[in-house]
């Protein structure tokens, strides 16, 4: 909030929780101190407080910290109270049934895209994902479909520097990424050509339930199941599903 005074201790505590929520493995005191640039003495007191409140958990044997149960309860409350998730559930069910592939709804959060909801593919070979997972927005079809719609001043704030490579196909040149976003804006949907996960191609459309949009709908498919007509067919299904979701949101607004 502009003009508000930041409470440093609260800000640091939230940084710890957010870092552990994004980490793929538990972190040591030294790792947290280095990453967050917080003195170990200060960090120890914050960790003790957060552990006592259930926001994080510690493993005494390894000395590592991970996200706690209380964070799960709060996250679940967010998902259950979000009107978009509630209104799009049946649409996701239908989209997954029509495509037979993994489908997601995601939301832009800073430079990341967050999975809000998903339906799994019926095939054994599929993308494995988790609700609540954060991914670099510029590497995903979900993220790029939203980034392409942002005004220039907002786009700058949503792109990390540098653009970190996740796979051999990740776009790490800013000029090339801007060209890809321009193409996305022109055709009305985004494509992820194995830019986030090798072997997975994604297609996504922005959900125009706000201006600019901050949510998107995607379908992720192993490249082994991509055929000549896959892109056209899947994008058509995504657009139909997005229209149904927008219709539900609009009808509720009046």
pLDDT in tens, 81-92: 888 988 999 999
pLDDT at 96: 96
Q: Cβ of 182: how many Cβ atoms within 10 Å?
A: 11
CA distance 74 to 80: 10
Give the architecture (CATH level 2) of 82-253. 2-Layer Sandwich (3.30)
Model's pTM, two decimal places?
0.81
The torsion angles phi and psi of 164, rounded to 5 degrees, stand at -80, 135
Structure tokens of 250?
């609009």
Residues above pLDDT 90, as percent of the chain: 75
As its CATH architecture, domain 8-72 has Orthogonal Bundle (1.10)
Asked if the model's pLDDT at residue 189 lies above 90, the reply is yes
- Name the more confident of 81 and 115: 115
Phi and psi, residue 107, nearest 5° = -130, 140
3 pLDDT above the threshold of 80: no
Beta bridge partners, 135, equal: 113
Domain ranges of the chain: 8-72, 82-253
132 and 107 Cβ atoms separated by less than 8 Å: no
pLDDT at 138 over 60: yes
């Amino acid at each position: 909030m502009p003009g508000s005074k930041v409470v440093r201790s609260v800000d640091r505590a939230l940084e710890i929780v957010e870092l552990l929520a994004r980490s793929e493995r538990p972190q040591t005191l030294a790792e947290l101190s280095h990453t967050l640039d917080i003195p170990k003495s200060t960090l120890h007191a914050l960790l003790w407080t957060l552990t006592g409140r259930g926001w994080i958990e510690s493993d005494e044997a390894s000395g590592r910290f991970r996200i706690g149960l209380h964070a799960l309860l709060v996250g679940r409350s967010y998902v259950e109270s979000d009107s978009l998730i509630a209104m799009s559930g049946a649409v996701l069910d239908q989209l997954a049934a029509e495509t037979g592939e993994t489908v997601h709804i995601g939301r832009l959060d800073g430079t990341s895209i967050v999975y809000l909801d998903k339906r799994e593919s019926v095939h054994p070979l599929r993308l494995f994902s988790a609700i609540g997972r954060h991914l670099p927005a510029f590497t995903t079809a979900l993220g790029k479909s939203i980034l392409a719609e942002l005004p220039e001043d907002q786009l700058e704030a949503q792109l990390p520097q540098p653009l970190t490579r996740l796979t051999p196909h990740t776009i790490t040149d800013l000029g090339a990424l801007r060209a890809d976003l321009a193409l996305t804006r022109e055709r009305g949907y985004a494509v992820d050509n194995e830019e986030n996960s090798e072997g997975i191609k994604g297609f996504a459309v922005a959900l125009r339930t706000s201006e600019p949009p901050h949510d998107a709908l995607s379908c992720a498919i192993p490249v082994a199941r991509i055929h000549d007509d896959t892109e056209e067919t899947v994008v058509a299904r995504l657009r139909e599903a997005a229209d149904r979701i927008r219709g539900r949101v609009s009808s509720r607004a009046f």
